[in-house]
Each structure stands twice: as structure tokens, then as C-alpha cells.
Amino acid sequence: MSVFRGSGVALATPMSEDGSINYDSLEKLIEDQIAHGTDALIVCGTSGEAPTLDDDEHIKAIEFAVQVTKGRIPVIGGTGSNNTAHAVMMSQEAEKVGADGLLLVTPYYNKATQAGLIESYSVIARSTKLPCILYNVPSRTGTNILPETMVAIAKANPNVAAIKEASGNFSQIARLMNLADGAFDVYSGNDDQIVPLCSLGGAGVISVLANVAPQFTHDMVYACFEGDYAKAAAMQLKSIPLVNALFCEVNPIPVKAALNMQGFNVGRPRLPLTEMEPAHKAVLEREMKAFGCL
């Protein structure tokens, strides 16, 4: 039940001056991503400011992406929550509006045990027919999905198709992939670790970098798939200064600034996130010019 292979973009959500979602800009972003090789859209995840979207606009944004995409590439809706019942409801609504898959972040703040993760994810997965991608990002959530836990969840729930791994712990990731034995896909959740993870057999990346360099990110992943690791490694190393600039403040503050520099009119983040500090913005602009995406 593979959802996609390649580069999935963790898409930013454009905002108008009044703070509402700017659907004109969202359509332009989607069309640009498709035109430049992106293999899947991840809508209303962390980069899409899901924590500040109300339920109606959250589902409307997923539905809009489905309508614009018209089946050309998969649309994956971010529907995870630290409230299992809420995640079930949002996942079912995303399925109703035509999403091709779900991205389910670990419960944040309340910090479930490993047994709690197994039970919570199983309840969500069994509430929908859609393939589910679990999202392990301990730096944001305070909770780490251990390899044995992920395998247990996937074995008990056939529609748990993949994990987005953003722990940064390659010993853990290697153990995960060994235990998985191909039973589910593993995507890199860190843009500075795409090639290392793909070299272990990863299925690609769910990427912030792809917002501003979609063709490059796609091509880097496919260089791995084609066995040209010298080319892929060179591309990964070239990307590091830009990736560092895109994460010099909390995501998605820098990527929204970068997209505005590129003319996509995505507005500012919603509070509590603020616009990028001028000194950091200057560094980001410099690195975008050096990389060739501005």
C-alpha cells in the first residue's frame, strides 16, 4: 500500500492579509509543484500550519488541493492530533473529500507511552480505508516512535503504509528499516538526511526544501533510486547551506519568507509564529541566490 515514491512536498499554506487562507496562491503553489516534478502533496502538516487551522478550513484546504490536483499526484492530508478522537474525525473527513492518504503526527504534549501509541494509531488506522503515514518528530512532540512500536502498529494495521522519520537518529532508523524488512515505506523527514536515508532503502522524502526547490529535490531522490549516489551525495551537500537557512527559525517561518521572495504571495505565518527576523531573512536570501532558486 505504498502512497508514493520520490519527493513529497510539505506544502506551506498561503495566507491573505486578513489571515484567511489564500486559495489563489495555494493553487499557484500546487501547479508549480506538479510542473517541477514533485511526487506528492502533503497538505496541512506542520509546514502548513495545521495547529492554527480550524477544522473547517483544514478540511477545505485538503479538498481544494484534491480538486486542483485532479489525480495527477497523491494528496496526503495531515490529520494527526494529540486527541485520538479528533484525529479519527479529521481522518474520516479527509477521506470524504478525496485525500489519497493521511499523515499522522505522534500525540504532542501529553506524551503517550509506546503502548499508548500502538493503541491510538490502531484506533485511527481502523477508522479509515486510507493509507496512513505515521510521523515521528520527537523534537516537536516530545514522543519517539521506537522501531519495535512502529512494526507492531504496521503488523496490526495493514493500511499503515509508511513512516516519516524525523528523529535524526540513524542508528534507530537503520534498526527500524531492518525490522520492517520492506513491510512499510520510510521517508526522510529531514532535508539534510535525504540521501543517507534513501541509501538504506528509503522511499523518498517529505520535504520543506521542495517548497522552494521542487525539481532539485525530486532529482536528488531519483538519483538515489537510479543508483547514482555520487550525484545524489553532491546534490545533498550542495543543499546543506540552504537547508540550514530554511531551519534557522522554526518551520514554517523561513519557508514562507522564501516563497514570498519567489513571488508566491503566501503571506505571514499565523500567530504564535511571527515573520522572520531581518538578519535571518538576509541570510536566507543570500543562500537562495547562491543555490539558484532566487
Work out the burial of residue 70: count CB atoms within 10 Å of its CB; fewer than 13 is exposed, 13-18 middle, 19 or more buried: exposed
Task: Pick the catalytic residue from 60, 96, 108, 135.
Answer: 135
* Cβ–Cβ under 8 Å, residues 52 and 41: no
The residue annotated as part of the active site, out of 164, 222, 256, 281, is 164
Report the distance separating Cα 208 and Cα 217, nearest Å.
Answer: 10
Catalytic annotation present for 23: no
Q: What Rg do the C-alpha atoms of the chain give, in angstroms?
A: 18
Cβ distance 198 to 232 under 8 Å? yes
The three-class DSSP label of residue 162 is strand
Distance from C-alpha of 21 to C-alpha of 216, rounded to nearest angstrom: 27
C-beta separation of 74 from 109 below 8 A: no
Alpha helices in the chain, H assignment, sequence order: 23-35, 55-69, 84-96, 114-125, 138-141, 147-156, 170-180, 194-199, 214-225, 229-246, 253-261, 278-291
Cα 73 to chain centroid distance, Å, stands at: 15
**Is 229 one of the annotated active-site residues of the chain?**
no
DSSP string, 187-233: EE--GGGHHHHHHTT--EEEESGGGT-HHHHHHHHHHHHTT-HHHHH
Residues classed as catalytic: 135, 164
